[in-house]
Structure 1
Amino acid sequence: MNILIIENEVYLAQKVVSRLLDDGHSCVYAEGPNAVPDSIDFDTVLLSTSMPSLNYNEIIKKFEHSIVILLVSYISDETVTDPIKAGAKDYIMKPFIMDELLRKIYHFKDCRQLKQELQTMRNYLDFIFRDIDLSESNVVVELPLLIETNSQKCVDKIAFEFSYKLNLPIKFISLAKDNWQKEIQANKNKELLYLTDYHTLKKSSKDNLNALIETKKCLICSLESENEFPYNKTRVKKTDMVVINDNIMTINDYVKLMVVSFQGKYPDTELSKKLGISRKSLWEKRKKLNIEKKK
């Protein structure tokens, strides 16, 4: 990391710089803010609040994208409370143990990295779910809940929405795996259980599962109709989503799915070519399969 130390106590600053260099960091030392180079981006700024007549808020604002840790001789509104309100992350009292200072530096570095990774994952989820409009789907909020669907991706989106609403992490369990029963039994209702592949279970296994999840915060995805599910159930069918299940589609179902999915992307000439049929055949398929042409 690039670390800036703004400290007017030279001996202390030299001690800090020496230890940080030993740990493999790059350090710049300045006795005051005017001596700080503008050409370097600093990951962490160690800012002493012992310097008289210094506008700490101005310095913190300048380094708003850095982790600012205060080096303080005493605690007051001026040395701690106000700078933290301005954006400083933490403080450490002088004299301090260097290991404690390093612990704080690494702690906030890890926190920042986790926040960045979390934001990246949320951006990715927004990206892959961007074309799934569930505004017309009446999904009940009572759990356990089974959702019959033609696309697991739709239920994936619903699972994350439940997770945000309930403020619970998601436990992903595929019912096609052998250990699903142990994983469900180990759950203490501190997670949202998201169970996929319900349609792959035999009736006896479904009965066992239904008994296990009666009191669980559980969302279940099935790619087939489930007439005997004893709890809340709903259906989310998207005609413009690709069907992914264990069934073999008929030729007409496949053609209908491809036309509905891609007619907004390709003109009829190109779409019929990709399907290996003539434009006339495509027109006839639309009429036969009751496919409304998008304008």
Structure 2
Amino acid sequence: MKILIVENEIYLAQSIATKLNHLGFDCENISSVKEALNIQLVDIILLSTNIAGEDFYPLIEKFQNAIIILMIPYVNDDTVTFPLQAGASDYIVKPFMIDELIRKIKHFTSYKRLQKEISFYKDYFCNSLINPNYAINTKISFPLIIKSVSQKTIDTYVINYAFVKKLSINFHSLYKTPKFQDYLKSISKQQLNYIIGFETLTKDKREEFLKKLKNAPIILSCLGEEIESLSNVHQINIKNIPQSFEEDILSVDEYVKTTILKFEDKYPDTELSKKLGMSRKSLWEKRKKYGIAKKK
């Protein structure tokens, strides 16, 4: 990341630059605001507010998307309140410890990175997944099980439901941590709990899990497994996958897993393994890896 140090105290500027360069930042020292305005691209600005005769507000205005930390001689409206209102990120009072300045830089770089991630996922959900054509239109009760051969299809229905109901999602994955007891303490009654990988549990474990989840707002994703034997549980079986989802490029693991789940009722293992281009032993290992129990 590029850091612009706007400071006319040469020793201070060089001291800051030396420490930050050692941490992997690309620093440039400039002694005047006027000169700094000629810079085009910068991620972080360390801006001294007591350079005589210089107005630093144009710099704050030009680099509104950058992290701007004010280096000030004292605290008042002119040095802190007004610059922060204009768009500066934070301030530090001279003289200061370099480690404290570094802490602020790390804090704001992490914050900016988190903002970008949130923006990405928000755009992805809004543009790719939130679609009124794939909404849950029936009255439901919890816990709810949604079954499909496509994980993305289930995800879409859940996200649409949460979006329409204005609910935040508390996400869990049984693929990552198969011991469902680990999730019980983190189940929220104020959020929509979305748990994927329900098909990895044995029938007895499913029944036990559902009993413990009673009266909590929970949706369980069940990928391809038969679940008709579960009683007194609301279930939705999505058989028609949106065409746009079918056209997505799957990873090799996703393709193999989906194929096993989709065709294990139609072909014996000998033929299914042949169609997948693997041995029966490899097919067995794949079932074990994906948590797919062999149907009898």
TM-score (norm 2): 0.67
5+ residue gaps in structure 1? Answer: 251-295
User: Structure 1 residues 120-129 or 36-45, which shifts more?
Assistant: 120-129
The 8 Å contact of residues 69 and 92 in structure 1, kept in 2 or not, is answered as: yes
What is the CA–CA distance in structure 2 between the aligned matches of 1:59 and 1:49, rounded to whole Å?
Answer: 11
Partner of 1:185: 184
Q: CA RMSD in A?
A: 3.5
- Give the aligned residue type for 2:6: I
What is the CA–CA distance in structure 1 between the aligned matches of 2:177 and 2:25, rounded to whole Å?
Answer: 48
Partner of 1:2: 2
- 2:107 alignment partner, SS class: helix
The 8 Å contact of residues 3 and 43 in structure 2, kept in 1 or not, is answered as: yes
Q: Kindly tell me: are residues 24 and 152 of structure 1, through their superposed partners in 2, closer, same or farther at Cα, counting changes over 3 Å?
A: closer
The 8 Å contact of residues 144 and 217 in structure 1, kept in 2 or not, is answered as: yes
The 8 Å contact of residues 198 and 221 in structure 2, kept in 1 or not, is answered as: yes
Shift of 1:105: 0.9
Partner of 1:167: 168
Q: Kindly tell me: are residues 49 and 172 of structure 1, through their superposed partners in 2, closer, same or farther at Cα, counting changes over 3 Å?
A: same
Shift of 1:32: 1.8
Shift of 1:199: 5.4
Q: Kindly tell me: are residues 240 and 19 of structure 1, through their superposed partners in 2, closer, same or farther at Cα, counting changes over 3 Å?
A: closer
Partner of 1:63: 63
Shift of 1:44: 0.7
User: Structure 1 residues 29-38 or 83-92, which shifts more?
Assistant: 29-38
Residues 67-105 of structure 1: per-residue CA shift (max 9 Å, x gap): 100111222222112211222111111111010001111
What is the CA–CA distance in structure 2 between the aligned matches of 1:178 and 1:146, rounded to whole Å?
Answer: 19
Partner of 1:238: 240
Shift of 1:134: 1.6
Residues 260-279 of structure 1: per-residue CA shift (max 9 Å, x gap): xxxxxxxxxxxxxxxxxxxx
Q: Which structure has the larger Rg over C-alpha atoms?
A: 1
1:116 aligns with 2:116: yes
Shift of 1:36: 1.9
Shift of 1:109: 1.3
Partner of 1:210: 210
What is the CA–CA distance in structure 2 between the aligned matches of 1:226 and 1:182, rounded to whole Å?
Answer: 23
The 8 Å contact of residues 207 and 230 in structure 2, kept in 1 or not, is answered as: no
The 8 Å contact of residues 144 and 215 in structure 1, kept in 2 or not, is answered as: yes
- 1:133 alignment partner, SS class: helix
What is the CA–CA distance in structure 1 between the aligned matches of 2:24 and 2:233, rounded to whole Å?
Answer: 58
Shift of 1:125: 4.5
Residues 45-74 of structure 1: per-residue CA shift (max 9 Å, x gap): 011222355443321111122110011122
The 8 Å contact of residues 168 and 192 in structure 1, kept in 2 or not, is answered as: yes
User: Structure 1 residues 83-92 or 51-60, which shifts more?
Assistant: 51-60
Partner of 2:287: none
What is the CA–CA distance in structure 2 between the aligned matches of 1:239 and 1:146, rounded to whole Å?
Answer: 17
Q: Kindly tell me: are residues 228 and 194 of structure 1, through their superposed partners in 2, closer, same or farther at Cα, counting changes over 3 Å?
A: same
What is the CA–CA distance in structure 2 between the aligned matches of 1:202 and 1:18, rounded to whole Å?
Answer: 59
- Give the aligned residue type for 1:182: Q
What is the count of residue pairs matched by the alignment? 248
5+ residue gaps in structure 2? Answer: 247-257, 267-296
Residues 166-202 of structure 1: per-residue CA shift (max 9 Å, x gap): 334411224xx89333333353438754334545655
What is the CA–CA distance in structure 2 between the aligned matches of 1:66 and 1:209, rounded to whole Å?
Answer: 48
Q: Kindly tell me: are residues 98 and 214 of structure 1, through their superposed partners in 2, closer, same or farther at Cα, counting changes over 3 Å?
A: same
Shift of 1:139: 5.4
User: Structure 1 residues 237-246 or 208-217, which shifts more?
Assistant: 237-246
Residues 104-161 of structure 1: per-residue CA shift (max 9 Å, x gap): 11221122223223333444455653778324x3155764222244643222123345
1:152 aligns with 2:134: no
- 2:112 alignment partner, SS class: helix
Q: Kindly tell me: are residues 43 and 200 of structure 1, through their superposed partners in 2, closer, same or farther at Cα, counting changes over 3 Å?
A: closer
- Give the aligned residue type for 1:167: S
1:101 aligns with 2:101: yes
The 8 Å contact of residues 144 and 235 in structure 2, kept in 1 or not, is answered as: yes
User: Structure 1 residues 218-227 or 2-11, which shifts more?
Assistant: 218-227
Identity of aligned residues (%): 29
- Give the aligned residue type for 1:115: Q
The 8 Å contact of residues 146 and 238 in structure 2, kept in 1 or not, is answered as: yes
